[in-house]
Amino acid sequence: MSTLLTAMTVVLCIAILVAAIVSIQVKGDKSMSIAILAAGLVSLLASVLFLILAAPDVAMTEAAIGGGLTTFLFFFVLARMRNGEREYEEANHD
Amino acid sequence: MIKRFLALSLLVGIGAIFVALMMSYEPDASLNLTARYYAENTASETGSANIVTAILVTYRGLDTLGEVTVLFLASSIIGLVLSLGNKQNTTLRKLVPVGELLTTGKSYLAPIIMLLGVYVFVNGHLTPGGGFQGGAIIASGMLLLLLSDPLKHFSHALISLVESLSGFVYVSLGVLGIVLAGSFLDNRILPLGDFGDLISAGAIPLIYSLIGLKVGAEFSSMLANLSEMEDLQ
């Protein structure tokens, strides 16, 4: 493996770790959305890592399922939860 | 405090195991026996340009059939568990309004995403990717449609028809391999064609397209079931 690829791998690994820590530790108003996006970022960066390691088939699976489907699914569930919260609040107001 | 310490020491332990594994790892100087066989004989035996696809669909086709079966079981069980509850009353449900960007974007993006999925599984024997990846991409297109219109209803009858028909034809092609070519899921029941062409590698493009449709339908039925589930009170 050339020096450039090694350097890229190290940078990617650090970025994956940072994204993972962000997705666990993020606090604040939109923390849930940011956490989901950061978790998706972990998968996306991991798929780039697989590509560097010459495994394009695995990279594709990781990007499609980890980065795409799972992230979308989390947002979907989050939207359903928000709907539920809204209904609960409205029911308590009346 | 003690819980935190336990979690931390567990993490350090796992980290130490991985470091030890990394340190003792030495890449092979040459391919091992099985890998060499695949590298040398895939092109002449199966006519597939993508060795990974040739292994997944023909050499280890039975394993792939098992994987598809596991996914089928998971999707049926999700359908079973969720259908025990009542279907939601769509007229009563109030929804957070969907953004303009999503509603406009989905009508342009969803067809392209699904087309990409079809491209990925049809070209499985030539380029990286295949049935599973293509199916997942198709399902994410479906999910985009569901996100932009949460009350959308997909035809469950159509999804089940696609799912069971492609599964049936997949297994039939496998059995046909025993009769015509000598082993289960043998791709040489169809002519191998010219190496690198879209229609080549015998039955591999056909089988992988069926797997793609099956996986896409299974993921889609899971998502549709989840979206039609009634909110818990």
B106 secondary structure, DSSP code: H
CB spacing of A60 vs B227 below 8 angstroms: no
Strand partners, A6: none
Buried b (16+ CB within 10 A) or exposed e, A25-63: ebeeeeeeeebbbbbbbbbbbbbbbbbeeebbbbbbbbb
CB spacing of A76 vs B143 below 8 angstroms: yes
CA-based R_g, chain A, Å = 18
The whole-number pLDDT of residue B233 equals 43
Please state, in angstroms and rounded to a whole number, the distance separating the CA atoms of residues B142 and B70.
21
Say whether pLDDT at B135 is over 50: yes
The whole-number pLDDT of residue B230 equals 61
Q: What's the mean pLDDT in A13-34?
A: 87
DSSP 3-state of B229: strand
Structure tokens that stand for B97 in this block: 């309004």
Looking at the partner chain, which of B96, B139, B232 has a beta carbon nearest the beta carbon of A86? B96
Question: pLDDT tens, B150-190?
Answer: 777 778 788 888 888 888 888 888 888 888 777 777 777 77
> How is chain B split into domains, by residue range?
51-87+98-228
Tell me the CA distances in angstroms from B51 to B34, B45, B59, one per residue in order.
13, 11, 10
Say whether pLDDT at B101 is over 80: yes
Q: What's the mean pLDDT in B44-63?
A: 83
CA distance A53 to chain B (A): 13
Tell me the CA distances in angstroms from B191 to B175, B177, B199, B200, B229, one per residue in order.
17, 13, 10, 7, 47
Looking at the partner chain, which of B53, B137, B223 has a beta carbon nearest the beta carbon of A64? B137
Neighbours of B139 (CB within 10 A): 28
* Alpha-carbon A47 to chain mean position: 12
Say whether pLDDT at B17 is over 90: yes
The whole-number pLDDT of residue A57 equals 86
DSSP 3-state of A1: coil
B86 secondary structure, DSSP code: P
ipTM for the assembly: 0.72
Give the global pTM: 0.78
Question: pLDDT tens, A69-93?
Answer: 888 888 878 877 776 666 666 676 6
